[in-house]
Structure 1
Amino acid sequence: METTFDYLVVGGGSAGCALAGRLADSGSDSVAVLETGGHDHHVLVSTPAGCAAMLPRAGSHNYGYRTVPQPGLNGRRGYQPRGRGLGGSSSLNAMIYTRGTPADYDRWASAGCDGWAWDDVLPYFRRAECNERVAGRDDDPWHGGSGPLHVSDLRTPNPFGQRFIEAAQQAGYRRNDDFNGVDQEGAGWYQVTQHGGERWNAARAYLHRGDAADHASNGGRENLAVMTGTQVLRIAFEGRHAVGVVVRLDGRETLLRARREVIVSAGAFGSPQLLMVSGVGPASHLRELGIPVVHDLPGVGANLQDHLDIIVHKRVAASELFGVSVGGAFRLLAEILRYRRERTGMLTSNFAEAGAFLKSHAGLDEPDLQLHFVVGMADDHMRRIRLGHGYSCHVCVLRPKSRGEVRLASPDIREAPMIDPCFLSDPRDLDGLVAGVRIVRRILAQPQLAAFGGKELYSAHLPADGGDDSAIRAMIRAHADTIYHPVGTCRMGMDEYAVVDPQLRVRGVEGLRVVDASIMPTLIGGNTNAPAIMIGERAHDLIRHGPRVVLRMAEVLAV
């Protein structure tokens, strides 16, 4: 087995796939992707609705982490599903393609992250994207038409999604047919990372280069090694220079060396965990666990941010919706056959088909709430099965003020880290969720949805006008949890608590970068998969060309 490569990419998730594929395509350097999990060649991964089977529990495609008890959630432990295997969470998620707002990235730049303003990152979003609305063209100012990541409209949208959009309009909110266009605000359909009725995850886009069933995992590239089932135990240092990683493969430990760089792309939980078990992190914490300190970097694992989410469910007697019933079982069998024949029907659903970006109150410059309308009841991450059919509407505060952390439970990376999002530690987040619940219930009360009747699950006791804040707050503390957007634990910046600089190099050591959503200084206003892929795209140019050339290239790409 080859044990020396030019670049070692630790983690085959969204950013890692994008970076590794681009590096392999742009030069003759050898690149190895090291992924603990297995391949993504699985029917539950390729079938969009398959996420309903993978999301609720830990397994071969899901780490299924849990948080430490959360005081803000009545002492409950939150559930944190994260993708395991090639594609990472892009093999597990709801495939929603959103980017946030321009102001999100301009705030990064104004905080010292030079080169990460909106005008700098938009060209990389466009380069990654092959949006079916502009397929084959690259003259659209907002979307790309020839990138590796397919983005499409839902192939068989559920009629209740349209009813939700119309109900939002009846409640006074405008329609928006492109959340990634000129303006984010409004209600509409989500675009999804699908192609031909199948999930198009990051591995399919950047590693396999197409149909995983017809191509090798490395897309036929001789200079790209895709190593699944490879547990990275720690980064190997000579002094403060990262020279490789120690892996467990086929039951034994092996040192893989990097001629140029080690690149950590293990996600908001895995990246800080790997840095810390390797001796890079808060020195006092590492010494408590007996880990030799390579470099005291106190920001590693800090600054954890996530979108806390509360759901309003409604049980409705409508067979178009997902649910558990005798009739629903027969319909599902018919839909399975339809999907196998045509790649259409209910199995192409991402469940969260429609949604909205709204302002909790007038006077805000940009939306501060996001809604996901789900064509099923989706209770407790689909871990609690409800008889009958129904729909649900999620709402989260887009830019939460609460900050948490990731810490080690053990010096052994194979033991899950301690995840503490500190949900609702800042009272402003609870205020925002209360406003969001009010808005959701007002939308669901509009004629387009109210005509179907039904009964709310956890919110039925609330006054119709939403006037009892204490009852809403109690419901949030009893039932809210993540909607799967953890970021920030290897924060980018130039201050003493920043983990990486704007070129994504780990501060205080050499030969080491972090490239994934953990580098985000602050959460963006939306789903985080597309930004993670953008980070991988941009990291490629920073590695290949350096920051000055990258700025000029961004100007060219923007034209």
Structure 2
Amino acid sequence: MDCGLNTSNFSFLIWSLFLIGLSYSDKFHFETAPKFKFVKDAKFAPRILSFDYIVIGGGTCGCPLAATLSHGASVLVLERGGSPYTNPEKINIHNFVTSLSEISPLSFAQQFISRDGVLNARARVLGGGSVLNAGFYSRASSRFIRESGWNETMAMFAYKWVEKKVAFEPTLLQWQSAVKDALLEVGVLPYNGFSLDHLYGTKIGATIFDKEGNRHTAADLLEYADPRRISVYIHATVHKILFRYNIEKRRPQAYGVIFRDAIGKMHKAYLSKRSRKNEVIVSAGALGSPQLLMLSGIGPAKHLKAHGIKVVLDQPLVGKGMADNPMNVLVVPSPIPVEVSLIQTVGITKFGSFIETASGLSIGHSWSERLQGIFEFVSNQSGQPSSVMYPPEQKEESVADTIRSLSNPILKGGVILEKIIGPRSTGHLELLTTNPNDNPSVTFNYFKDPEDLKKCVLGMKTIIDVINSKSFSKFRYHNMPVEALIDLMYHIPMNLRPKHASAPFSLEQYCIDTVLTIWHYHGGCQVGKVVDLDYRVRGVDGLRVIDGSTFYRSPGTNPQATVMMLGRYMGEKILIKRYFQEKK
């Protein structure tokens, strides 16, 4: 009988015992969102620090990863943003749009415009994207887990560990219920009820908002951490990873980082020398991780040299495979009041499109003007054109009246959206400057692959059927056909792409013209290209990348559950291997 560590039964036994051993961490549970004593502003950090693990990025993956690692080693987390606990109202469900669109230097979101002309945002806060998103929580499909090379049982343990802190069953009110019934009416079957699993048909997913509308984020998973072994510094921007040449292995080896605090002081953090298995782990997100690798000298040599960066490792695949799930929407004004709701109902189609909805958010001129302001602010910073290209003046009177009516603050409505699985279309990321606070240049190439466009069209057809359904009829102005809603979208500054409103109308062109992001971008440090199956950066020692930048496609209907799970999963895997190596 083979009793090696690689046998599945023995691994599962060890994993189970390890989980039981870590269960004591519940004694650090707080009943309310804590202000952790181990979270401090980086300006109070020593000039020189030493830890077993340095986690760059306290985001959706970095927080669960660091919390787990703290039960077997000392961990330093460096987060460039602030804390979500300083102003709880800011992350309440009612302030979703405001928090996401804020452009203050201290805002939780850093706006950027892709080279495709689509406004996007990257998180800049402890907890990462889970502080900004629409809150939907749903696991990846079994197929995604298998294709990622993860043990399904171990992954399920990790999901449940996350869900104990942040996942809630939502209360379905009128708007969400109507969309659910409409999806079933138009054939998105079967109905799977409330479920965390990724299942074809219509279902209700979990949410990270509790009954009072308070958001629970990946930062809450730091409640699991051993406070004696973890230090988290916020407003700590890592400028580069430090490497030395390992003569024995004839390759670079990471040994520390340099970071700057909010008042400009530089600090150095080194890996402690008590174990050769100590590592720097980059969890800075799909933009931040490839950007930081490049700033540290790992990337396409020609591109790095053009920016005056010393090449540590010529790795042409860093920044490649960037993708973003395209989202297209219809705004639906309602003749009756609607509840404030973010994503709860989802239709998972077999043709590769997900149908989701939100309601009660302001859709009037103030929202339109806010978008325009963000476009101008980011465009002026990036050098991209700031003008929005509108269609020719062919406004029917009914559409003009509709736009004017949307300025009424009493009028509410919602959006019904679709995003496609995958996507197949990919792009790339490059540095614009050597300042880590600046956004890199990123191109997603929305709908470059015709299969993506086909899925969008089918998704939009499903949305139109939902709006025209009997189940949804009470939320419709009956004198406003869907064609008017589509025309309305051409008069709202949704993105910076050229508009081609024309007759006959084309859903293909509508998808291309009005594409938005759903903030599910990924790639740039993909498994098998930049990192191996254990997320070690290929060609160097002492360095991993663990976050959504390693994905080939976005998992399920929303990636946050899987990104949090991955942090827990890899944290346990690293500690188990560390334990056996130290016993040798």
TM-score (norm 2): 0.75
Distance 1:372 1:406, change over 3 A: same
- Aligned-partner Cα distance in 1 for 2:98–2:465: 31
User: Residue 270 of structure 2 aligns with which residue?
Assistant: 257
Distance 1:170 1:285, change over 3 A: same
User: Residue 128 of structure 1 aligns with which residue?
Assistant: 162
Q: Which moved more, 1:159-168 or 1:447-456?
A: 447-456
Contact 2:166 2:218 in 1 (8 A): no
Distance 1:382 1:6, change over 3 A: farther
Distance 1:375 1:195, change over 3 A: closer
Contact 2:338 2:360 in 1 (8 A): no
1:37-436 alignment runs, 5 A limit:
37-41=81-85, 42-59=87-104, 60-70=106-116, 77-109=117-149, 116=150, 118-119=152-153, 121-130=155-164, 149-155=165-171, 157-174=172-189, 175-181=191-197, 184-195=199-210, 197=212, 198-204=214-220, 206-208=221-223, 221-239=227-245, 240-249=252-261, 250-259=263-272, 260-321=278-339, 346=340, 349=341, 351-360=342-351, 368-376=352-360, 383-384=367-368, 386-387=406-407, 388-436=411-459
User: Residue 401 of structure 2 aligns with which residue?
Assistant: none
1:371 to partner: Cα distance: 1.2
Picking from 484, 489, 493, the partner of 2:524 is: 489
- Aligned-partner Cα distance in 2 for 1:410–1:383: 31
User: Residue 465 of structure 2 aligns with which residue?
Assistant: 442
User: Residue 532 of structure 2 aligns with which residue?
Assistant: 501
1:161 to partner: Cα distance: 0.7
Contact 1:45 1:199 in 2 (8 A): no
Distance 1:397 1:56, change over 3 A: same
1:506-517 alignment runs, 5 A limit:
506-517=537-548
Contact 2:292 2:436 in 1 (8 A): yes
User: Residue 8 of structure 1 aligns with which residue?
Assistant: 54
Q: Which moved more, 1:254-263 or 1:435-444?
A: 254-263
Distance 1:165 1:268, change over 3 A: same
Distance 1:33 1:381, change over 3 A: farther
1:438 to partner: Cα distance: 0.4
Letter in 2 for 1:81: A
Structure 1 residue ranges (4+ consecutive) displaced by more than 6 angstroms after TM superposition: 547-550
- Aligned-partner Cα distance in 1 for 2:253–2:367: 45
User: Residue 19 of structure 1 aligns with which residue?
Assistant: 65
What SS does structure 1 have at the residue aligned with 2:206?
A: coil
Identity among equivalent positions (%) equals 27
1:43 to partner: Cα distance: 2.1
- Aligned-partner Cα distance in 1 for 2:139–2:580: 24
Structure 2 residues not aligned, in runs of 5+ = 1-45, 246-251, 273-277, 370-405, 490-502
Contact 2:242 2:296 in 1 (8 A): yes
Structure 1 residues not aligned, in runs of 5+ = 71-76, 110-115, 131-148, 210-218, 322-345, 361-367, 463-467, 551-559
- Aligned-partner Cα distance in 1 for 2:102–2:295: 26
Contact 1:56 1:381 in 2 (8 A): no
Contact 1:45 1:91 in 2 (8 A): no
Alignment deviations for residues 244-298 of structure 1 (CA, whole Å, 9 cap, x no partner): 1111123222211122211111000000000000000111211111111001111
- Aligned-partner Cα distance in 1 for 2:298–2:453: 34
Alignment deviations for residues 529-557 of structure 1 (CA, whole Å, 9 cap, x no partner): 0111111011112221239989xxxxxxx
Contact 1:34 1:232 in 2 (8 A): yes
- Aligned-partner Cα distance in 1 for 2:349–2:120: 25
What SS does structure 1 have at the residue aligned with 2:122?
A: coil
- Aligned-partner Cα distance in 2 for 1:461–1:49: 25
What SS does structure 2 have at the residue aligned with 1:164?
A: helix
Q: Which has the larger radius of gyration?
A: 2
Distance 1:274 1:398, change over 3 A: same
Alignment deviations for residues 226-255 of structure 1 (CA, whole Å, 9 cap, x no partner): 101111111111121111111112322221
1:515 to partner: Cα distance: 1.1
1:444 to partner: Cα distance: 1.4
Contact 2:154 2:569 in 1 (8 A): no
CA RMSD between the two structures: 2.6
What SS does structure 1 have at the residue aligned with 2:123?
A: coil
Q: Is 1:519 paired with 2:558?
A: no
- Aligned-partner Cα distance in 1 for 2:219–2:161: 16
User: Residue 20 of structure 2 aligns with which residue?
Assistant: none
